[in-house]
Amino acid sequence: MQRTDTAPKPVSMPKLSRETIVNIVVMAILLAVPLWASSIGEDYYVNLASLITIFAIAGVGLNFAIGQGGMVSFGHAAFFGIGGYTTGIAAFHNFEETLFMSMPFAVSGTNQMLIIWIVAMAVCGIAALAIGAISLRTEGVYFIMITLAFAQMIYYFAISWPAYGGEDGLSIYLRNELPVVDAESALTFFLVCFILLLGVIFATARLSGSRFGAALGTAHMNGTRLATSGIDPFPIKLTGFVISAMITGLAGALFAELNGFTGPSMLSWQRSGEIMVFVILGGVGRLCGPAIGAAVFVLLETYIGEWTEHWQLLLGLALLGVVLFARGGVMGMIAGSARHD
Partner 1 sequence: MLLKVNGLETHYGAAQALFGVNLTVSEGEMVALLGRNGMGKTTTISSVCQMVTPTKGTIEFCGHNLNRMPCHKAARLGLGLVPEGRRCFPNLSVLENLSAAARKGAWTLGRIYDLFPRLQERKSQSANTLSGGEQQMLAISRALMTNPKLLVLDEATEGLAPLVRGEIWQAIARLKQEGLSILIVDKTLKELLPLADQAVILEKGESVWTGRPDTLTEEMKDRYLGL
Least spacing, CB of residue 144 vs partner 1, in Å: 21
CB of 220 to partner 1, least distance (A): 10
Q: How far is the CB of 136 from partner 1 (least distance, A)?
A: 15
Which residue, among 280, 287, 288, has the nearest Cα to 323 in the 3D structure? 280
Shortest spacing between CB 210 and partner 1, in angstroms: 9
**Helix 113-135 vs helix 77-96: crossing angle, to nearest 10:** 140
Burial 170-194 (b: 16+ CB within 10 A, else e): bebeebbebeeeebeebbebbbbbb
**Which 50-89 residues touch partner 1, going by CB under 8 A?**
none
Other Cβ atoms less than 10 A from the Cβ of 133: the count is 14
Q: How far is the CB of 125 from partner 1 (least distance, A)?
A: 24
Q: Which residue, 64 or 194, has its beta carbon nearer to partner 1? A: 64
Q: Which 217-256 positions form the footprint of partner 1 (CB under 8 A)? A: 217-218, 221-222, 224-233
How many residues touch partner 1 under the rule CB under 8 A: the total is 19
Verify cis geometry, omega within 30 degrees of 0, for the bond prior to 8: no
Choose between 17 and 308: whose C-beta lies nearer to partner 1: 17
* Distance separating alpha carbons of residues 70 and 59, to the nearest angstrom: 14
15 binds partner 1 (CB under 8 A): no
The Cα–Cα gap between 93 and 101 comes to 10
Binding segment (CB under 8 A) for partner 1, from list 28-36, 82-90, 216-224, 298-306:
216-224
Contacts of 121 (CB under 8 A, 6+ apart): 83, 246, 247, 249, 250, 253
Enumerate binding residues for partner 1 (CB under 8 A). Answer: 211, 214-215, 217-218, 221-222, 224-233, 339-340
